[in-house]
Amino acid sequence: MTIPMAAVAPIAVIAVNALGQYQRGGFDEVKNTTLKAMSDPSQMLSFYGPVAAGIAVHLLASRFGANRMLGQAGVPLLRI
């Protein structure tokens, strides 16, 4: 099993932001901010943009063989 870092890293950023929101205002703050970011067209890019960019980087790295090179080099559990 390997973990595609370019696709997972943006999700980790979203989780860290949610943790900061939780510390500021509890679960209601997380819920309100996250739902607004997911549904408000003016904020959708800030929420989905990093995830889409990470997936695109992962697909390009796979296409150009970066993940194959990592596997041949013996790098465990990591893909781009």
Neighbours of 74 (CB within 10 A): 6
**In this predicted model, what pLDDT tens digit does every residue of 17-38 receive, in sequence order?**
899 999 999 999 999 988 888 8
Q: What's the maximum distance between 2 C-alpha atoms anywhere in the chain?
A: 47
H helix or E strand, kind and range, residue 3: strand 3-4
Assigned token pair, 46: 């800030």
Supply the DSSP symbol for 79: E
pLDDT (tens, 9 = 90+) of the chain, 80 residues, equals: 777 888 788 888 888 889 999 999 999 999 998 888 888 888 888 888 888 888 899 899 889 999 889 888 888 777 77
How many Å apart are CA 10 and CA 50, to the nearest integer?
Answer: 5
Domain ranges of the chain: 3-79
